[in-house]
Amino acid sequence: MNALDQAPSYGSPFPPPPPFRDRGTAILLMGLFVAFLGLCCLGMMALMGVGLAASAVSPAAPKTPLRSLIPAISAYLGFAVFFLTTGIGSAMVKRWARALLAVVSWMWLTIGGFSLALVAVLLPKFRELFEAAAPPGAAAPPAGLMVGCLLVALIAIYVALPLPLALFYSGTNVRATFEARDRPRWTDRLPTPLLGLFLVFAFTFLASLTLPLYGVIPAFGRLLSGPSAWAFGLTFAAATGAGAWWVWQRSILGWWTGVALWLVGAVSTVLTFVGDFDWNAYYSQAGLTEQQIRMTRGLSPAELFANPFVLGLMILMWIGISVVLFWTKKFFADPGASESAA
């Protein structure tokens, strides 16, 4: 061994570069943008409140029952809470915010793709609906312009917003930045597919609690109201709540709950949407105005399912859900393995 081999190695005076590209600034800006989306949802709720108050004050304006706005109010409130919470969490580089935004953005984009395909098939129907929305004796609105604005708005909501979010929060450098700056969080407990299934159960649980507030619920070819609507909503909430808990525990019971609800939902959809269900009675009891009911003519679920393109899209959607659901089974804990380990 010579003197050069025995010389001490001092190394570089500079710290080694990280094995990834730090995206801290981009994460901060994207988090602020997500929080801004939450503020926009709150703004939409405020606009709905102003419109509701104006319709109540003006004697000439059609009265809009608050019950008919429950779906939109619930959706905007849920979106506002989600975007504000995850946006602030992203700006603070919290790992749970990245995981939630990545999963939800991909589901948002997938649902948006099916929705855009459905709208593309029904564009001629939408033109007729806009023309029929005009009160008797009034000039028909520019249906072509309104359809074009609707299409642009849907592309923005279903593609232009979720696609950048999904790609950004799924990026390798973004994920590595979150993992380097924050400790493991509760979202690390579940693999990404099970986290998505857990969120579906949790969202459905919260949504089912509001079902009885609509006054009427179409299910299994019948119009449920009063005690039957409350019983249905609470039973559905109990089932989805239990499913969320079992998925969180990585119990195979969560997977079986998902399969059972998928089959029950398919049966209820077929009996309600394909049968002779009285949708006008549902619209009336749900609180829709005469103008809103007039706009639904030509777009009743029974007529939609009679369209072969719509029926094909729905079948494709159900096949996709079944494939994803059965794919998630391999991520659940194997009870036999745990028993042998004990």
pLDDT tens across 22-64, in order?
898 999 999 999 999 999 999 988 888 777 776 666 665 556 6
Q: Is 30 within a domain?
A: no
Q: Is 247 within a domain?
A: yes
Q: Please, what's the b/e burial string for 94-115 (b: 16 or more CB within 10 A of its CB; e: otherwise)?
A: bbbbbbbbbbbbbbbbbebeee
What single string gives the DSSP state of each residue in 60-99?
Answer: SSPP--GGGGHHHHHHHHHHHHHHHHHHHHHHTT-HHHHH
Q: Is the pLDDT of residue 78 over 60?
A: yes
pLDDT at 98: 96
pLDDT tens across 98-156, in order?
999 999 999 999 998 888 888 777 777 766 666 665 555 555 566 667 777 778 888 99
pLDDT tens across 206-245, in order?
888 888 877 788 888 888 888 888 899 899 999 999 999 9
Q: How many domains does the chain have?
A: 1
Q: Is 39 within a domain?
A: no
Q: Is 181 within a domain?
A: no
pLDDT at 307: 74
Range 278-297 average pLDDT: 70
Q: Is 318 within a domain?
A: yes
Choice between 338 and 170, residue whose per-residue pLDDT is larger: 170
Q: Is 132 within a domain?
A: no
Domain that holds residue 321: 190-342
Q: Is 315 within a domain?
A: yes
Q: Is the pLDDT of residue 341 over 50?
A: no
